[in-house]
Amino acid sequence: MEVNLLDKICVLDAKTVTKKEFEQTLGMSREEYLKEMRRFVEEQQRVKAAAESK
């Protein structure tokens, strides 16, 4: 995930946006965003599990 993507998400969180606004702001569709966030969360869970198993 790019840091600037997180900045853009903060802007989106501040208002309700249309699908078109969402895609223009992030440069990806909601489906792509959700897939990317799911991957990110799964990676965070793996990192946490690895740290706890040590």
d(CA 17, CA 19): 7
Given a cut of 70, whether residue 1 has pLDDT beyond it is no
Per-residue pLDDT band for 50 (boundaries 50, 70, 90) equals: very high
Instruction: List pLDDT tens digits, range 13-36.
Output: 656 677 788 788 778 887 888 888
Confidence class of residue 46 from pLDDT cuts 50, 70 and 90?
A: very high
Question: How high is the pLDDT of residue 12?
Answer: 62
Are 33 and 50 in contact, with CB atoms under 8 Å apart? Answer: no
- Burial of 36-46, coded b for 16+ CB within 10 Å and e otherwise, reads eeeeeeeeeee
Helix (H) or strand (E) holding 26: helix 19-26
24-51: average pLDDT: 88
Query: Whole-angstrom distance between the N-terminal and C-terminal Cα of the chain?
Result: 26
